[in-house]
Amino acid sequence: MSADLRQPAWVERTTASVDGTATTRLVFIFRAIGCAWARRPERGCTNCGFLSLTTRGAPVPFEDLIAQFESVFADSDAIAGIGEIDIFNSGSFFSEEEIPAAVREHVFDRLGTTAALRVLVESRPEHLREDRVRDAVARVGANRLEIGIGLESSDDRVREALVHKGFSREEFERAVAVLGATGARLLAYVLLKPLGLTEQQAVDDAVASSRYVFEVARRSGVAARVALQPTFVAPGSVLEEHFRRSAYTPPSLWSVLDAARRIHAMGELSIGASDEGLEPARAPAGCPRCTEKLRAAIRDYNQTRDLSRLELACACRG
């Protein structure tokens, strides 16, 4: 790998909605060692292709991680007007093997001085220790720090046997309780159509999983949103091997709309809308006449939270 370790893996500015306000979202992805779960010989989650953004297990020196961050955040003009800042490391931001504590503290101290309404990082539940999260909230500010957890499904068979996630509902609930105790917010990723589910089973599973997320969050007094993630076929994933054998197809965008309509009333919902620049067969789609309309409707919904934006029709729907 010849990537410059002093430059981030990815930086992108997109539109977003935070607490009903249209704003700009800055996505920053560290080039880092990557998810320890994904690097095990058993290969982590079946849908994951994030290792391509990492050094695949080669440690990145502390100074280089800081340089990556400063290449964007040292310039306060470059982050003026940004409402949401997402800091990703293709793994767990609260794992000290993946992101050293001193880097984490530097990042949160800096983000605490910005005007962003929301700061998002991601972590598997086992790394969400109360002392670490409490420290992060103190640096960033209560009600601003949001922690993304990839629950994927509340069904043990789907999460364990199909996605191969490697954590239990108990561990998820413990992590959500930590967010409640510390004043952090929850973003729970729910996967739509993991390997091994039919289209209808996938919709039902995403709806049930979202209901579970909002119930667990309510019990712990946590502000929560669900990110519905329509599965795409990532290069290098286990899923890709099934896709190549014609044993897997991504969900229909109509299933995404079906699930979204049923989840909408439960609480705040965002819908994953990126096609990741992949060849069309690897991403959720409708038919040639409606795919672009459906994608635009999903982007509109994410901006407005207006369910009527998802009321569409097409002859392919039957």
Question: Which parts of this chain interact with Zn ion (CB under 5 A)?
Answer: 286-287, 289-290, 314, 316
- Which CB, 220 or 291, lies closer to Zn ion? 291
Residue 191 CA from chain centroid, whole number: 10
Beta strands in 235-291 (DSSP E): 268-271
38-41: long-range contacts, CB 8 A cutoff, minimum separation 24: 38/91
**Residues 167/125, Cβ–Cβ less than 8 Å:** yes
Beta strands in the chain (DSSP E): 10-18, 21-29, 82-88, 118-122, 145-152, 185-192, 224-230, 268-271
Residue 205 C-beta: closest distance to Zn ion, Å: 24
**Residues 123/94, Cβ–Cβ less than 8 Å:** yes
Q: Which phi and psi (to 5°) does residue 53 adopt?
A: -95, 5
Residue 290 C-beta: closest distance to Zn ion, Å: 3
Residue 269 C-beta: closest distance to Zn ion, Å: 23
- Which CB, 72 or 287, lies closer to Zn ion? 287
Residue 41 C-beta: closest distance to Zn ion, Å: 42
Residue 248 C-beta: closest distance to Zn ion, Å: 21
- Which CB, 248 or 254, lies closer to Zn ion? 254
Residue 276 C-beta: closest distance to Zn ion, Å: 21
- Which CB, 88 or 254, lies closer to Zn ion? 254
Which ranges constitute the DSSP H helices of 53-168?
62-73, 101-111, 130-140, 156
Determine the length of the chain: 318
Q: How far is CA 302 from CA 62, 130, 185, 273, 316, in A?
A: 36, 31, 18, 9, 24
Residue 162 C-beta: closest distance to Zn ion, Å: 28
Which residue is listed with tokens 């400063």? Answer: 70
Which residue is listed with tokens 């949401």? Answer: 84
- Which CB, 84 or 258, lies closer to Zn ion? 258
3-state helix, strand, coil in the chain (%, to 5): 40, 20, 40
Residue 311 C-beta: closest distance to Zn ion, Å: 14
- Which CB, 17 or 252, lies closer to Zn ion? 252
Q: Pull the structure tokens for residue 266.
A: 């439960």
Reference 21, options 306, 303, 296, 301; nearest CA is: 303
- Which CB, 13 or 289, lies closer to Zn ion? 289
- Which CB, 141 or 284, lies closer to Zn ion? 284
